[in-house]
Amino acid sequence: MSNDTVKIFDTTLRDGEQSPGCSMTTSEKLKVAKELVALGVDIIEAGFPIASPGDFDAVRKIATQFGDQTTICGLARCRKEDIDRAWEALKEAKNSRIHVFLATSSIHREHKLKMSKEQIIETAVEMVKRARDYCPDIEFSPEDAARTEKDFLCEVVERAIEAGASTVNIPDTVGYATPAHFHDVITTLKKNVSNIDQAIISTHCHNDLGLAVANSLAAVEAGARQIECTINGLGERAGNCALEEVVMALKTRADYYGVNTNINTKRLYPISHLVSTVTGMAVQRNKAIVGKNAFAHEAGIHQHGVLQERTTYEIMSPEDVGYVGTNLVLGKHSGRHAFRDRVQSLGHTLDDATFERIFNEFITLADKKKEIYDSDIVALIENQVSDAPEKWSIARFHTSAGTGTIATATIELADEDGKIHCDAATGDGPVDAVFRALERITGISAVLEQYHVGSVSSGKDAQGEVRVEVRINGEMFNGRSVSTDIIESSAKAYLQAINKAVGRGEN
C-alpha cells in the first residue's frame, strides 16, 4: 500500500445518535462538533436533515459554524425531498457534502423497496445527479453492500460514479461481513469497476459480530481511503467502527498499513469522555484505547516489565491518546493561573465565564476533600456539558434513613421564576425517596431504567459520579452528576433527566 492519507468520516452525530437513549440536543451536538474539528476529522456527518426539524436545525447550525474548518455532511435517502432538504441545511457551509443512499441487496430490494435492479440503478443515477447539481462533493452508499451480489454492486457503483459521486461508501449495514469477506468486496470493486479511480472508496462497518474495526482495517488494506466511524463505537444495535480504535490501529501499525490520518490522537481521550457525558453511554473499563483499564497493569510480571521498559507491555503511550489518570495536581491554595494551565494541559479550552464557574466549584471541592486529582477536574468540566433547560433546580434537600426506619426525603426545588416548591416522600432507601419526592414536585412520572454509581478518583472522600437513564412518556432521557455526596449527585442526575423531558415537551 502507498503511504497516503485515510480520511476519517465521523458519524457520531448521525449514526451514533441513533443508539437508544443517546439523543443529543442541538447545543450538545455543537459542542461535540467543535471537539470533532479539534480532533481533526475530515468529514462530520452532522445528521439526517429531513428526519426532524431538530435534526435540520442541528445540521444547519453545524454547517454554518464549522463548514469553513472541515467538511460538513448531511444524509439523504435517494428521494428528491431528502436531497433538497439536505442542501437547504448545508448550503451555508464552505465545505459541504451530500450523502445519498439506496439499498441494493436482494433482501432489501424484495422486502423493503419492492424495486428491481433496473429501478435501483435508475433511481441511484437520478438522485446522485440531483445532489451533484447542488454540491460538487457527493457520496453514494449502496446500503447493505456486504450482502449485495458482487456483479450488481459493481454495476451500481460504476453508474453512481458516472453520475457524479466522488466517494462511494461500501456499508456493512448489518455487521454481517468478516475481514476476509470484506477485503474481497473492496478488491472486487477495484478490479471490476472501470471508473473506480475517479472516486474514493469508503467503508461503513457495523459491529454486530464485533468485527467493525477489523473489517474497516481489511478494507483499508484492500484500498479503501475513507473510514466511517463514531466516537466510542456508538451506533445502532451493537454500534459502529470505533474511531479511536481504528485510528490508533493505523498509527500503531503504520509499519504494516503504510497510511496515516489527520487525527490529533491526543484529543481522543477528552472527546471520548465528552461524548460519554453528553449521551449518558458509559465507556466500559476495558474498552480499548479510552477505557480506564486501557493502560493499567495488574499482574506483577507486567508491572515489573513496564517499570524496566514501557514498551514491554505497552504498544501505545497514554500520552498519545491524551489519557487522564488520577495524578495528584492541585490543592485549595492553587491560584487561577495554575488551575487554567492544568485545564488547558488536560485538553480543554473554556471561555471566561465557564472557567470562573468551574474554578469556584474547584475551590468548594478542595474544602471538602484533601486531595484533588486530574480526574476530579475533568469531572467538574464535564458537569458543565449538559444544556438541559433549568426548569427546576435543587435549593435544599434532607434525607433520613437507617436500619429499621422508613427512608424519607424532603426537597425544596426552585422553578424558573425562583419560586420555591417543597414536598416529601418515603421510599425503599434514601435515593428512592429522593426520586419520588422529585417526581411529586415536578409532576413527572418516570421509570428508572439504569442507575450507575462510580468514583471519579481514589480515596474515601472521592467524588461519586451518578448516571441515570429514565423512561418518561415512552422516551428515554439520561442524567449525570458528580458530588462528594452520593445522594446529592443522585438527586441532581435524576433532576437533569426530568429537566430534559420537560424541555423536550416544551419544544
Q: Which range marks the domain in which residue 250 is found?
A: 7-279
Locus of grid cell 452508499: 141
Is residue 449 domain-shared with residue 424, that is, in the same domain? yes
Domain-located, residue 292: no
Q: What is the DSSP string of 482-507?
A: EESSHHHHHHHHHHHHHHHHHHHHH-
Q: Are 216 and 227 in contact (CB under 8 A)?
A: yes
Is residue 334 domain-shared with residue 435, that is, in the same domain? no
Residue of 336, 339, 341 lying closest to 372 (CA atoms)? 339
Q: Give the total number of structural domains in the chain.
A: 3
* The domain boundary residue, chosen from 385, 418, 440: 385
Locus of grid cell 507491555: 313
Task: Per residue of the chain (507 residues), give pLDDT as tens.
Answer: 455 999 999 999 999 988 766 788 898 899 999 999 999 999 999 999 999 999 999 999 999 999 999 999 999 999 999 999 999 999 999 999 999 999 999 999 999 999 999 999 999 999 999 999 999 999 999 999 999 999 999 999 999 999 999 999 999 999 999 999 999 999 999 999 999 999 999 999 999 999 999 999 999 999 999 999 999 999 999 999 999 999 999 999 999 999 999 999 999 998 998 898 888 888 888 999 998 788 764 445 454 554 566 666 678 888 899 886 655 556 667 778 888 888 887 777 788 888 888 888 888 888 887 778 887 888 888 777 655 567 899 999 999 999 989 999 999 999 999 999 999 999 999 999 999 999 999 999 999 999 999 888 777 778 888 999 999 998 888 898 989 999 999 999 999 999 988 887 654
Q: What is the pLDDT of residue 298?
A: 43
* Structure confidence by residue, pLDDT tens digits, 454-489: 888 777 778 888 999 999 998 888 898 989 999 999
Rounded to an integer, what distance in angstroms lies between the CA atom of residue 164 and that of residue 196?
Answer: 12
Is residue 444 domain-shared with residue 344, that is, in the same domain? no
Is residue 410 domain-shared with residue 470, that is, in the same domain? yes
Residue of 8, 503, 472 lying closest to 246 (CA atoms)? 8
Rounded to an integer, what distance in angstroms lies between the CA atom of residue 102 and that of residue 160?
Answer: 11
Is residue 138 domain-shared with residue 237, that is, in the same domain? yes
Give the containing element (helix H, strand E) for 436.
helix 430-442
Q: Are 279 and 234 in contact (CB under 8 A)?
A: yes
Rounded to an integer, what distance in angstroms lies between the CA atom of residue 401 and that of residue 132?
Answer: 66
Residue of 28, 35, 67 lying closest to 266 (CA atoms)? 35
Domain-located, residue 145: yes
The reply to whether 15 sits in an annotated binding site is: yes
Is residue 183 domain-shared with residue 265, that is, in the same domain? yes
Is residue 437 domain-shared with residue 486, that is, in the same domain? yes
Locus of grid cell 463505537: 233
Q: What is the DSSP string of 278-297?
A: HH--PPPTT-TTTSTTTT--
* Residue 330 belongs to domain with CATH number: 1.10.238
Domain-located, residue 285: no
Is residue 420 domain-shared with residue 345, that is, in the same domain? no
Q: Are 162 and 125 in contact (CB under 8 A)?
A: yes
Q: Can you read off the three cell numbers belonging to residue 131?
A: 445532489
Is residue 256 domain-shared with residue 373, that is, in the same domain? no
* The domain boundary residue, chosen from 248, 279, 310: 279
Three-state secondary structure readout of 79-115 = CHHHHHHHHHHHCCCCCEEEEEEEECCHHHHHHHHCC
Is residue 67 domain-shared with residue 214, that is, in the same domain? yes
Instruction: Report if pTM > 0.95.
Output: no
Domain-located, residue 232: yes
Is residue 200 domain-shared with residue 77, that is, in the same domain? yes
Domain-located, residue 286: no
Q: Are 8 and 73 in contact (CB under 8 A)?
A: no
Q: 473: phi > 0 → left, psi -120 to 50 → alpha, else beta; which?
A: left
Question: Angle CA(76)–CA(77)–CA(79) in degrees, nearest 5?
Answer: 105
* Residue 460 belongs to domain with CATH number: 3.30.160.270
The length of the chain, given as a count of residues? 507
Q: 13: phi > 0 → left, psi -120 to 50 → alpha, else beta; which?
A: alpha
In this structure, the dihedral spanned by the alpha carbons of residues 108, 114, 119 and 125, taken in order and rounded to 10 degrees, is -50
DSSP bridge partners of 398: 410
Is residue 208 domain-shared with residue 136, that is, in the same domain? yes
Q: Are 472 and 420 in contact (CB under 8 A)?
A: no
Domain-located, residue 1: no
The reply to whether 240 sits in an annotated binding site is: yes
Domain-located, residue 261: yes
* The domain boundary residue, chosen from 385, 403, 421: 385
Domain-located, residue 287: no
